[in-house]
Amino acid sequence: MSFIPNYWEDTETLQINRKAARAYYIPYASAADARRRKRGRSPYYQTLNGRWKFKYHASVREVKEDCVAPDHDISRWDDLVVPSCWQVNGYDQLHYTNINYPFPFDPPFVPNDNPAGLYVREFTLPDNWNGKEKVAVFEGVNSCFYLWVNGQFVGYSQGSRMPAEFDVSAYTRPGVNRMAVMVLKWCDGSYVEDQDLWRFSGIFRDVYLLARDSAHISDVFNRTSLSASFDSAELNCEVETTGRLEIEAVLQDADGAEIERTQAMIEGQGTLKLHVQNPVLWNAENPHLYHLYLFAGDEVLHFPVGLREISIQDGVFTINGQAVKLKGVNRHDSHPELGQTIPVNHMIKDLRLMKQHNINTIRTSHYPNDSRFLELCDECGFYVIGEADLECHGALPAGDFNWFTRNPEWEKVFVERATRMVERDKNHPCIIIWSMGNESGYGENHMAMARWTKARDASRPIHYEGSDPRHGGSPDTEVLDMESRMYASSGAIAAYASDPDTAKPMFLCEYSHAMGNGPGDLQDYWDVINRYPKLMGGCVWEWVDHGIKIMKHGRPYYAYGGDFGDQPNDGNFCIDGLVAPDRKPHSGLLELKQVIAPVVFEAKEIGSGLIEIHNRYDFRDLSHVRVLWKLEKDGETVSQGEISGLSAGPHGSQTVEACFGIPEEPGRYFVTLSCRTAKETWWASPGHEISFGQFELPAPQLELFQPEARSPLQVERRDDRLVITGFDFEYGFNLGAGMFDSLVKNGVEMLLAPLSFAVWRAPADNDRFVKHEWMQEGYERAVTHIYRVDTIRQDGEAVELEAVFSMGGYLRPPFLRGTFRWKVDATGELYLRTNVTTRDGIPFLPRFGLCAVMPEGNEEIEYFGRGPHESYIDKGHSTKIGKYLTTVDEQFVDYIMPQENGSHNETEWVIVSNELGMGLRFRSDRPFSFNASHYTPEDLTQTSHQYDLTRRPETIVHLDYQMSGVGSNSCGPALLAPYRLDEKEFQFELNIAPVFKEDE
């Protein structure tokens, strides 16, 4: 191995022979091809993607010198498609870790057994490339690599997620050439690439060759400036060349009409100036792009140009002079089968989903994305926080979070991470903020990054959250333009925003941790964010669950940390997104969509049909949307219409009238207003719902139907049971348990097990901390103790029974005590009234309610409440009150880590029945939460993967006085007090009736 210099443990050697970083572009032969952005249409581009020969070594020490020789026999090597990641192709170890380094903390040294992958492929150069400079471009290689062409060493590079370019002209020859690449899993750069993700390796982004004229444009920086009134713009195109070159610049509008052209002879450096009168400004809502073409020799370069201005004015973040809220997500490169290799169509799928859910901002956590992703963001309209490939989180458990940023030997490493990012991405209008990395402490090396960035590009502000004083870094934050926070509570950001001594805008770079069944605090955050101009908004953590798709027991599932024997690992902490690995939206994404909606409805005089529509778009009026309304009575539509004349401007509002009339007949009336797209867009068909509002109308109350008793009740005691018989029913009451264990109507048994009280729920990911308190108190092992059961009334009209009870787990005193009373009337309806007192000092309850286990076949659910998807006390703004018909299986949400799911808050009544409508109706005057499932909370608690779950044939129904909220405490703040079942005394009432609902 002596033929390979050990650059991978040398912080002074970050590259050998790598060309200077530059703006991303591909040279084309015509403006038409350049505009299409199809790289294969350029005669100066040749892809090296495809099948390579590949040989994996568990250690770089096993690599032999002759493997890179041009005549080395590689016929027995494996085939591997490039781009790809080793670990999803059967090589090396699939390994997920969040904070901890997977090797000893001994910088710059990495394990001696450093896995190495050898890649070899042959390529032929086109004849028309003779005399041109040939450049090999590697857009992403993790973690470092050595390059040979025809057996000659060309160069070395590290920095996994930025391009590395090498001039290979001197090493190529006419005809067939051989390229060899050695990729190492670890290098000293791995210490600053300690992001929360699967640790992938290999050539994972595109590889290609470019042919350049001997004198060509080497770099372009398009600097734009707007007049104070935004009625004119200037484009200064700063060009660097490799020789004396005549350059013509042509600026066109979005439709291809020429605006201006100019030309200049430039040698080394020069600037071409162009002007636009009455420019159409770029923003995420209207991503208007001009098109700049640079003609130089045989080459044409194309740059989309967005004219926009970013500034901070009196502590308020603005774009084009308008205060803007960043409604964002953090997005990792993640594919369930390809790892960090992301096809363009997969990028588009992500962006389309984001648009459909009202997201306008993406933080590229925690490294620069593929340049084509940024091109899409320019074109599709997204604000992007461009983040340097820098994270040293593992230094925290190693002993000193600020070790790297304080160490002058690592300054070069830090600054280069900023330099390569800024130089590549500087021409993208979508990038509105530069980020100096993530979770790496804070000190002089970060300041050096920020100073360089400001000197190179003063048009964008700089973000870095690691300067938070809690991290113990330097207090000098002058180089940072905003106050950045992670997981600060809604109360904490309100305190900052209302403090007159704070001058910078606040950006929540991570908030509302979306792990599993969550987040449940979005509305609380946005109530505060919308209230204070100083709050810029933020990015939910995070976009996607990072599951790896594999097979188990003949069925596919998504694996997470530890499933491959990887150590150290952080388990399912990578399963923390708003969408599943296959991009199926979780209910948390639906909640985010509604909470950050750009159109909001407010009832002014709802009885008269007066609605105020608030426009929270920053740059668009409401003429591009439609608002439809419908009026429902008891869940059935009775009238509908459309509101015309929408015109409210950005940040404005207007009052409109919906002519739905005043209800006269008794019933529950709800009017639902739906804001929808009026025309087709690239991301949605006409009629796509952007947001909705729902309001109840005043109306006479409907008297519930009360069936007449057809015969008096008969009561018989049989051992420890009471048998209560009516005209068409027979109920069994267990005196020892204080509960009914049989409910039979017309011979059909509705119960499979006795009714019971329940407090336990399968912990959601956001219960990961509080569940230990719950378990210490014994909630998961709670049993009900009946002290006595008394008969209060027993006659032909009704039977009333009262019990004194407690609930508790072993080792601890009962955590609640109370009484409950059952009443059965001669119609067969049951009435439950429970009074509960909880013990002082206990943690809040997960839930409290009644559990009914119903026999197999009870699959149909009909209910009036919030739907159609799951809702909780703090996570229901995306649901609508109405009447729904569904099934038990359809209500189950198969989170990758099984947990509490599928509950419905604010339910008024629910019927669980077989397909013939034979079942139980549950109702209450006080809205309750219900859940119907083929899994018990214990089933979900005891399993860690979907494949461990065994579907029960019976139906388990929970009727809860209250289910505590879900919050975002997997990483965010503790569940807010209003969403905890923390009452010291409460009363729960529930009516139960066996029904044949098709006869009612």
3-class SS string, 293-305: EEEECCEEEEEEE
Residues of the chain by 3-state class (helix, strand, coil), percent to 5? 15, 40, 45
Closest CA to 127 of 183, 195, 174: 174
**Beta carbons of 323 and 535 less than 8 angstroms apart:** no
- CA–CA distance, 901 with 935 (Å, rounded to integer): 10
**The amino acid at 70:** P
Surface-to-core class of residue 953, CB atoms within 10 Å of its CB (0-12 exposed, 13-18 middle, 19+ buried): exposed
Q: What is the Cβ-side half-sphere exposure of residue 619, based on CA atoms within 13 angstroms?
A: 19
3-state secondary structure of 926: strand
Bridge partners (DSSP) of residue 177 are 123
The structure tokens 């009544």 sit at 909
Closest CA to 61 of 117, 10, 113, 108: 113
* Per annotation, catalytic residue among 510, 730, 860, 908: 510
DSSP element (H, E) containing 218: strand 217-226
Q: In the annotation, is 248 catalytic?
A: no
Surface-to-core class of residue 997, CB atoms within 10 Å of its CB (0-12 exposed, 13-18 middle, 19+ buried): middle
Closest CA to 952 of 868, 846, 859: 859
Question: Residue 600: CB partners within 8 Å, gap ≥ 6?
Answer: 613, 614, 616, 691, 693
**Beta carbons of 405 and 439 less than 8 angstroms apart:** no
CB crowding 302-317: b at 16 or more within 10 Å, else e = bbbbbbbbbeeeebbb
3-state secondary structure of 998: helix
Q: In the annotation, is 439 catalytic?
A: yes
- CA–CA distance, 933 with 899 (Å, rounded to integer): 12
**Beta carbons of 794 and 804 less than 8 angstroms apart:** no
DSSP conformational letter for 701? P
Bridge partners (DSSP) of residue 642 are 628
3-state secondary structure of 822: strand
Assigned token pair, 438: 């993530």
**The amino acid at 40:** G
Bridge partners (DSSP) of residue 557 are 550
* Per annotation, catalytic residue among 416, 439, 591, 862: 439
The structure tokens 């150069």 sit at 125
- CA–CA distance, 827 with 108 (Å, rounded to integer): 80
**Beta carbons of 182 and 154 less than 8 angstroms apart:** no
Point out the residues that are catalytic. 439, 510
